[in-house]
Structure 1
Amino acid sequence: MGRIADYAERLFLILLSATFLQAMLTNAVAHPYVLLLCVSETLPVFLMIIRRPGEMAMKPYPFFLAFVGTAAPLLVRPVAGGFQLLPDAVIAGLMTLGVGINVSAKLALWRSFGLAPANRGVRSGGPYKFIRHPMYLGYFVTQVGFLLANLTLGNLIKYLVTWTVQVLRIREEEKFLLKDAAYRDLARQVKFRLVPGVY
């Protein structure tokens, strides 16, 4: 059952990312910063393909959160009629910061990356020295940048759903990972989950 879930998760992400890329790349000339969002949201495809096996949470709720948390941000689109709150240079800077955090977290995880909660080895290097879930922080910063450049009701709703689900997802990952003594040690050393000094 675990192997079927593993392959289904990979196939889902590949198909969803392909449609996302197709929609985004058609707008890359007019809005070059969308390339940053493409990197942030599609790097998982490569990491999913090369990841190592590990113990996964098999309950429906964590899978549902992983599905929604991954699918919802892939549904946003750049829009000509959207309301842009900041200049392109500021948007690009914010999104670059988010992608930097995100990519550094993914590189630290490398073959341990997954969607549903899983334990493929506890990582404590790179940005994991400062917060326990830096990848989600990177997503949030990148997505806020994109939203500030493409503010529509539809994009706002998709991101509000995403951010709510990501917090719930962190809680589920924590429940699963805290079964591991190595992760409990990390949680004692790294106090905050998502934002230093806040949560």
Structure 2
Amino acid sequence: MQAGELRGIVERVLLASLWGGFALGTLGRSLATGSLTGFGLVGVNTLIAGLFLTRARSQAVSHRPEDWLWALMGTSLPFALRVEGPEQLLGTLVQGLGILAMLYSLASLRRSFGIVPAQRPIVTRGAYAFLRHPLYVSELLYFAGVCLSVPSLWNAGVWLALAGVQWRRAVLEERFLIADPVYARYCENVAGRFLPTR
């Protein structure tokens, strides 16, 4: 077995373990409390897990521990959100907008989805024609909706930490990809990392 195959197996087992523990716990609490937010969280994370498992094979993957650490933090931090308690309508509406934005970003990205920096086909269409990291932005919008739906200092702190982690992930991904002339041109054409500049 080659190192790449072993890494792929480890990634899948880790993802399945994270998702399984989260889904079982969140679904149990959501059924007990009737929380729509919990069901939404499970749905969003199921979609992300499915895309991860069906992603296109990468031409190169970062081996830098820092890249993997930030990717792991960005993937696992949303599991720390607490969704018990009475829900607020505004939060549910923001979650809906976040899900729509995520679906648009993921439809644009297709199989170029990944967790750690990796060289896959560069996507410049759809949501990626306006922002370099629309999936991170839509995830942050969705999780802001979770925080508005079930407000607490804990959830606000988790969201702020997640925003910082996603920013750092974007910087690290770009550092990995910038050697690709196609990506360098893309960065010149689409200047906005998290906010549109045009």
TM-score (norm 2): 0.89
What displacement does 1:105 show? 1.4
Cα gap change, 1:110 to 1:14, in 2 (>3 Å): farther
Alignment of 1:56-95 (within 5 A): 56-80=61-85, 87-88=88-89, 90-95=90-95
Instruction: Give 2:53's match in structure 1, choosing from 49, 52, 55.
Output: 49
> What one-letter code is carried by the residue in structure 1 that aligns with 2:67?
P
Conservation of the 8 A alpha-carbon contact between 1:94 and 1:141: yes
What displacement does 1:188 show? 1.3
User: Which structure 1 segments of 5+ residues have no match?
Assistant: none
Matched, 1:37 2:37: no
Distance (whole Å) between structure 2 residues aligned to residue 3 and residue 172 of structure 1: 24
Conservation of the 8 A alpha-carbon contact between 1:65 and 1:168: yes
Distance (whole Å) between structure 1 residues aligned to residue 154 and residue 36 of structure 2: 21
What displacement does 1:23 show? 2.4
Distance (whole Å) between structure 1 residues aligned to residue 157 and residue 8 of structure 2: 29
Partner of 2:178: 178
How many residues align? The count is 193
Alignment of 1:147-162 (within 5 A): 147-162=147-162
Distance (whole Å) between structure 2 residues aligned to residue 143 and residue 72 of structure 1: 11
Q: Give per-residue Cα distances to partners, 1:77-127, cap 9 Å, x unaligned.
A: 2122x7x6xx42x22221111111112212222222111111111011110
My pick for the range that moved more, 7-16 or 59-68, is 7-16
Runs of 4+ with deviation above 4 angstroms: none
Conservation of the 8 A alpha-carbon contact between 2:71 and 2:115: yes
TM-score (norm 1): 0.88
My pick for the range that moved more, 102-111 or 59-68, is 102-111
User: Which structure 2 segments of 5+ residues have no match?
Assistant: none
> What one-letter code is carried by the residue in structure 2 that aligns with 1:12?
L
Percent identity at matched positions?
27
**Secondary structure at 2:124 match in 1:** coil
Aligned alpha-carbon RMSD (Å): 1.9
Distance (whole Å) between structure 2 residues aligned to residue 160 and residue 3 of structure 1: 35
Partner of 2:196: 196
